[in-house]
Structure 1
Amino acid sequence: MESNSKRRGFFKGKLTPFYRAVKGVPTRQYSSKVKPNQGSSTSASISFRVHQDYMISQPKQISYIVPGDKNRENLSQIDNFFGVTGDESVDIKAATYISSVQEPFYNSTCPNVESIVRKVVEEKFSQTFVTVPATLRLFFHDCFVEGCDAPIMIASPNGDAEKDAPDNLSLAGDGFDTVIKAKKAVEAKCPKVVCCADILAIATRDVIVLAGGPSFEVELGRRDGFVSKASRVAGQLPGANFNLSQLNSMFAQHNLTQTDMIALSGAHTVGFSHCSYFANRFYSFSPSSPVDPNLDPTYVKQLKQACPQNVDPSIAINMDPVTPRTFDNKYFKNLVANKGLFTSDEVLYTNRASRPTVVRFSKKQNEFKEAFIAAMRKLGRVGVKTGKHREIKVDCTAFN
């Protein structure tokens, strides 16, 4: 895909990739004003049509900036830039400035999709709180492997689908159940319109809100992918023993910064984990010290009581021992108090490069939640599928 920075002009604003304008495909009309670059006075209003499958929540305004003193020449090429002439199919990895959301993506095809999903999520939440961490973790694992396209939902009789990979076997069934039930409810009202990837994204936002976390607009317009293989999962997900360098490297592969990574780690405030993932920290940390010296002694006692030696590895405990059922900034307060469950949690505080962000989030909950929203939006754009590499599944557990 050609970089947008190499084109004659460029959008100004936030990255929202995977746009396509195609001849003969239904489009929607938008208008905007072309703003001059510094040192030039040429400007004009433009009108263009946007392919209805754009991964965006319909911007009210889009600003197009024409570089240098060649405004007039570039203005004549706007149609070609967007591909609206129908002469070719144009992929543009663009940055869009969304001044306000004009309408939901499914406004004309499934206007009540979010309320339909929310009702299902609320019902599932009333049955078990596990719905929250299970759905959140499912979304994260989906996006980090092959992108946010829902192949993690596929059930394989041969046990070789993405969900069957060792790193995904600990995913709680309540997350899958939430998406499956939500999809069924949506299909009853809007058959073959809303993909499983979008339903998972909406459900994830909803469980965050139900746990007391922030609400935010979910960008819609994804499509479901065609590939679901267990063999592609290894090495794609962060490990419980990762150091800061390993964490930053893995998240950077998905255009996520260190701040994004730390903010997303804050979701552990409502998470849980099995003893086998962290018991080494207080039973066999090193030859000279069986207990990780970075762990608070009182917390070590609690962990040993919850996870005695030779305990059933399926036993799980809350990652936040203080407010495990509330989406807040206690996770970061725990890190400052040396009560991070994973090594990959505690390193966020013990490493000087990331410590200031952890301390800031521990003191200012609103800043954490704002950073979390920004990171979730970026996470939701990872590996989005379009064109021939996508479909809208009727059943989230099977390809069409």
Structure 2
Amino acid sequence: MKTGMLLIVVFATLLVTQKPVTAQLSPLFYARSCPNLQALVRRVVQQAVFQEPRMAASLLRLFFHDCFVQGCDASILLDDTSSFTGEKTAVPNRNSVRGFEVIDNIKSAVENACPRTVSCADILALAARESVLALQGPAWSVPLGRRDSTIASLASANNDIPAPTSTLSQLISKFQAKGLSIQDLVATSGAHTIGLARCVTFRDRLYNFSNTGAPDPNLNRFFLANLQQQCSPSTSSDNSLSALDVRSPNRFDNSYFVNLQFNRGLLNSDQVLASTQNGVAQGLVSLYANRPFQFFRDFASAMVNMGNISPLTGSAGQIRTSCRVVN
């Protein structure tokens, strides 16, 4: 199936498969107040991803880490000040989340066209979709109308965002706490078909899995050998980067799930999805490995569901003129 036709079918299917959109959100929210919004976001994201393909994964991750803390309210974008503590220094975000300059560039372009109109939270949601599209992934209709938080929560960022060392039960619990299903969990994990991870996030799997003093027995031995060349036992290689998907790291496809079937999931939180501990998760991994269209459809639906986590709407919050600071 050609890419254009695939995107049309995915969009049409979403109209009947995704959960009901939060009442006050609508894809047409800015139709009159900022009609060129989506084109503005697309242009900046495409330029950024063309210069550095990894940026697509970084922008997608920003959206995920934002929505899992207080809901999709752009709280992750707030900088620390002498009187304000944001979320950027939380353990899951420190030396990890990136792409803030791209969001700044989008906000600047949008403010020039539509001053004090579009929230940073909606910019994050649109940038996530455009990042996926830039690497040949699926399209979906993004519900809009979120407003920006004036507060942040370092504690929630430390506690609510799933860790790369998570077990399957821990992942399911954290997703269910946000109103997301096992299908949402497995489908959104497929975002790891793009991007890179630091050695420090998976080193224990290579040398001291579960404090056994040995590698994770579930790791493919050839994959293990390659990873050990990139990630030494010492902390000197903490920031060495490895592709989350060794088959096609710069293309959004279903090869992540194929990797899991061959025990080539980079993070523990990846490989546990193929575990026999949960037949639903394992079945979805198999389904997505064999049916890329199904993965695209479910991923798009899950992204809408994630975007519906506790948005601020109506008169709540504000429309920040700078995504880094409260007005």
Instruction: Please indicate, yes or no, whether the TM-score normalized by the shorter chain is above 0.5.
Output: yes
Whether 1:199 aligns to 2:123 is yes
**Are 2:92 and 2:163, in contact at CA under 8 Å, matched by a contact in 1?**
no
Q: CA RMSD in A?
A: 1.5
Q: Secondary structure at the match of 1:167?
A: coil
Whether 1:56 aligns to 2:15 is no
After TM superposition, list the pairs within 5 Å mapping 1:46-125 onto structure 2.
54-57=24-27, 104-125=28-49
Higher Rg of the two aligned structures: 1
Find the counterpart in structure 2 of residue 271 from structure 1.
195
Contiguous gaps of at least 5 residues in structure 1: 1-12, 20-53, 58-103
Find the counterpart in structure 1 of residue 91 from structure 2.
166
**Are 1:179 and 1:199, in contact at CA under 8 Å, matched by a contact in 2?**
yes
Find the counterpart in structure 1 of residue 163 from structure 2.
239
CA distance in 1, matches of 2:308, 2:211: 43
Q: Secondary structure at the match of 2:197?
A: strand
Deviation at 1:146, TM superposition (A): 0.7
Q: How many residues align?
A: 306
Whether 1:16 aligns to 2:18 is no
Find the counterpart in structure 2 of residue 28 from structure 1.
none
Q: Secondary structure at the match of 2:160?
A: coil
Instruction: Give the structure, 1 or 2, with the largest relative contact order (CA under 8 Å, sep 6 or more).
Output: 2
Q: 1:355 pairs with 282, 291, 309, which one? A: 282
Q: 1:375 pairs with 302, 314, 317, which one? A: 302
Q: 1:384 to 1:320 in 2, by over 3 A?
A: same
Find the counterpart in structure 1 of residue 101 from structure 2.
177
CA distance in 2, matches of 1:215, 1:357: 21
After TM superposition, the score normalised by the length of structure 1 is: 0.74
Deviation at 1:388, TM superposition (A): 4.4
After TM superposition, the score normalised by the length of structure 2 is: 0.90
**Are 2:103 and 2:124, in contact at CA under 8 Å, matched by a contact in 1?**
yes
Structure 1 outlier segments of 4+, above 3 Å: 286-289
**Are 2:145 and 2:313, in contact at CA under 8 Å, matched by a contact in 1?**
no
CA distance in 2, matches of 1:333, 1:160: 41
Report % sequence identity: 36
Find the counterpart in structure 1 of residue 5 from structure 2.
none
Find the counterpart in structure 2 of residue 313 from structure 1.
238
Contiguous gaps of at least 5 residues in structure 2: 1-17
Deviation at 1:231, TM superposition (A): 2.8
CA distance in 2, matches of 1:111, 1:130: 29
Question: Which amino acid is the alignment partner of residue 91 of structure 2?
Answer: P
CA distance in 1, matches of 2:294, 2:211: 40
Q: Secondary structure at the match of 2:215?
A: coil
Whether 1:208 aligns to 2:121 is no
Deviation at 1:114, TM superposition (A): 0.4
Q: 1:245 to 1:286 in 2, by over 3 A?
A: closer
Find the counterpart in structure 2 of residue 258 from structure 1.
182
Find the counterpart in structure 2 of residue 35 from structure 1.
none
Question: Which amino acid is the alignment partner of residue 271 of structure 1?
Answer: G
Deviations 1:222-243 (A, max 9, x none): 1111111323322101111211
Which has the larger share of helix?
2
Which has the larger share of strand?
1
CA distance in 2, matches of 1:269, 1:321: 9
Q: 1:332 pairs with 253, 257, 277, which one? A: 257
CA distance in 2, matches of 1:199, 1:259: 25
Deviation at 1:127, TM superposition (A): 1.5
